[in-house]
Amino acid sequence: MARRTTVIEASSELFAGEAGFPDFSHEQMLLDRGARLVAGVDEAGRGPLAGPVVVAAVRFDPERIPEGLNDSKKLSPERRDALFEEIMVSAEVAVVSAPPTDILALNIRGATLAAMARAVNALPRAVDRVLVDGRDVPPGLPCPGLALVGGDGRSVSIAAASIVAKVMRDRMCAIMDCDAPQFGFAGHKGYSTAAHLEALDRHGPCRHHREEFAPVAALLVRRTSVTVAG
């Protein structure tokens, strides 16, 4: 029998973290309501033209939460790397990626939500509540989920997930750079910088590019038209 996911709605103002930093209040709210294990989930890489979307799910012991957690975009690479190491030794973590083939088949939103559900299901222990960054609760979760707009700046579990996802994706981009050095993936991480677009126009897409994203799709159409005309 298929498992059903309950969606819990929340306003963007509910339990906002103090002084712009995430805290444990959302997790504590769910624990006070009877939850035993609460995880946070977030992604990295929805916007780039190339590479996977990477999703992490993180569950903390309330007594072992690293200090200084925040939205990964607000942290320096060095601070992200340091917190990544702390998270990996203090929390239960699962990481899942959705490659460009998944993104092509499901679209970016569908691939991201599917990866979120897979990450939660991959945690070492089954959780009974999930905090999700954004407006959508993924179908396929094993338990009820709470969507938090701006959750990576409000929940320490989501913030930790954002850090793990970002660090892992950056490392994958370094591997992509070794595979296709002409594109400079290690530098721009697949985003549509001027240098990336210039390399894309010069070399054409590689296997790491997302074929349905506008600049890549337009180039494929243009090159197909030239081939047919020739």
Q: Which residues contact 1 (CB under 8 A, 6 or more apart)?
A: none
Q: What is the pLDDT of residues 4-26, one digit of tens each?
A: 344 444 444 444 444 578 999 99
pLDDT (mean) for 72-94: 97
Closest CA to 136 of 117, 113, 155: 113
Higher per-residue pLDDT: 150 or 14: 150
Is a pLDDT exceeding 60 seen at residue 46?
yes
pLDDT (mean) for 194-204: 96
Determine the longest span between alpha carbons in the chain, in angstroms: 68
**pTM score of the predicted model:** 0.89
Is a pLDDT exceeding 90 seen at residue 85?
yes
Is a pLDDT exceeding 90 seen at residue 27?
yes
pLDDT of residue 13: 41
Is a pLDDT exceeding 90 seen at residue 77?
yes
Closest CA to 24 of 206, 158, 182: 158
Q: What is the pLDDT of residues 112-133, one digit of tens each?
A: 999 999 999 999 999 999 999 9
Give the chain's mean pLDDT.
90
Q: What angle do CA 145, 147, 150 make, to 5 degrees?
A: 145
Task: Locate 4 and state its tokens.
Answer: 């059903």
pLDDT (mean) for 122-145: 97
